[in-house]
Amino acid sequence: MVFSSMIFLWVFLPVVLILGLLIRKQPYQNIILLLASLFFYAWGEPIYIILLVITIFFNWFFGLCMEKHENGKKVFLILAIVCDLGLLGFFKYFNFAMELLGGIVPSGILPHSELVLPIGISFYTFQAMSYVIDLYRGEYPAQKNFLNLALYISFFPQLIAGPIVRYIDIEKQLVNRVITSDKIASGIRRFLYGVGKKVVIANTLAVSGDQLFDLLPHQMSAGAAWVAAIFYTLQIYYDFSGYSDMAIGLGRIFGFEFPENFKYPYLSTSISEFWRRWHITLGTWFREYLYIPLGGNRKGNARTYLNLFIVFAVTGLWHGANMTFVVWGLYHGFFMIIERLGFSKVLKKCKPLAHVYAVLVFVIGWVLFRAKDLHTGLTIIKRMVLPWKYTVSSHVMTMLSVQSILALILGIIGCGILQRLCETKAGAAVAAKWKNSVAEMVFLFVILFYSMILLASGAYNPFIYFQF
């Protein structure tokens, strides 16, 4: 079940909202939200609900063992992490590992798994791991109530595609949270903006963008390659940030405050800044649980660069069992390293040029992320960086509808330009008047109504990050 589906918007969400708001006493509301979350997950993956419950149980169990057996807490931490990564590794990376080994071992010998990747496994596994790691560090006591921990790991707003929430951030909210009319209104407002991002902008961009990426690489002119890359750059931002907005809004309706996941990353003037603004909760997770434990920047420059290399290789691999993602991660890691070597000082001298540099890097990077294989991605990038060699027309304009062009314009304005205008004195005054005004309410109603029309027409709807 996805947030931008009719069944979610008109059946699941209203029922859960009514039950959750009628029964506000935390122990009982938690049970309602947990049952709703398990049903939400089972709707699309009925068999894998067992895997989710198993993950919850052994992290809860090993957490209790860590607290009870102080001398052996490291052993129980290792067991928990081995179980978490073991399940993630088997379901997500088994076939990828077999493919890599296939270059060494004769074909026909290695096994192949026909299992489908469980939705959201990368997200809920990382949440579960953060719980046991922080518990080992002594940041909080073990959660004795199995149902509370189950709700933390499986809560439906952020179960499938984040934000990745650390237990310490919502520990108190699980047992003592306040639900007010202002929070509910704010949550609904945030949710509807997320719906607009996803359905009106991302889905519309996806239709034309997919047509362009479906061209064979040798059929692409340089112009077609750049248009495809720009469309996907905006699509993935509005798709994923739209989901995050919906998740944060839904959580707020029930009294939970989730961390922000995006901070206008396309305004960045470096790749380092980009990663402080893009998928913030994932970047925080890797910093806290991989980069710093590896030594961070405390063991000299050479070790720092190695640590960055490892972190971004793993970041790419986390996104998918495909060499395109690994190379995409290393590609970003390369620019992080050269900026740390001194290029960041050059970038600070001219912010406009620094912004152009950052945009070029991440736009080209998204081609690797989107391409079906590494060869295709590199071929498209070759056309982008050598435009004078690939000038044959690909009839790009025939693949662009009026709606997609309007979505492109709105997407460019809304991913930073409008927000920068709101930071000015005049813009801030207008924004203050707009927020919670009758005009904004009408605007949000129009967004919802138009989104319903698009969804009813069977428009493109899957969330990109559901596959991770």
Cα 343 to Cα 465: distance, rounded to the nearest angstrom:
32
Residues 6+ apart with CB under 8 A from 60: 143, 146, 149, 150
- DSSP-derived 3-state class of residue 23: coil
Residues 245/263, Cβ–Cβ less than 8 Å: no
Q: Is 332 a catalytic residue?
A: no
Calculate the CA 389 to chain-centre distance: 36
Question: Is residue 384 within 8 Å of residue 222, measured between CB atoms?
Answer: yes
CA gap 150, 53 in Å, rounded:
8
Encoding tokens for residue 156? 């439906």
Query: Token pair 């149902």 is at which residue?
Result: 147
- Distance (Å, whole) CA 66 – CA 73: 4
CA 124 to CA 159: how far, in whole Å? 6
Phi-psi region of 371 (alpha: psi -120 to 50; beta: other; left: phi over 0): beta
Phi and psi based region of residue 426 (left: phi greater than 0; alpha: psi -120 to 50; beta: remaining): alpha
**What torsion, rounded to 10 degrees, do the Cα atoms 113, 119, 123, 128 define?**
-80
**DSSP line for 289-353:** IIIHHHTTTSS-HHHHHHHHHHHHHHHHHHH-SSHHHHHHHHHHHHHHHHIIIIIHHHHTT-HHH
CB 435 within 8 A of CB 427: no
Catalytic residue among 319, 355, 375, 395: 319
Helical segments of 106-221, H only: 121-136, 146-154, 156-159, 167-170, 181-195, 203-213
What residues are annotated to the active site? Answer: 319
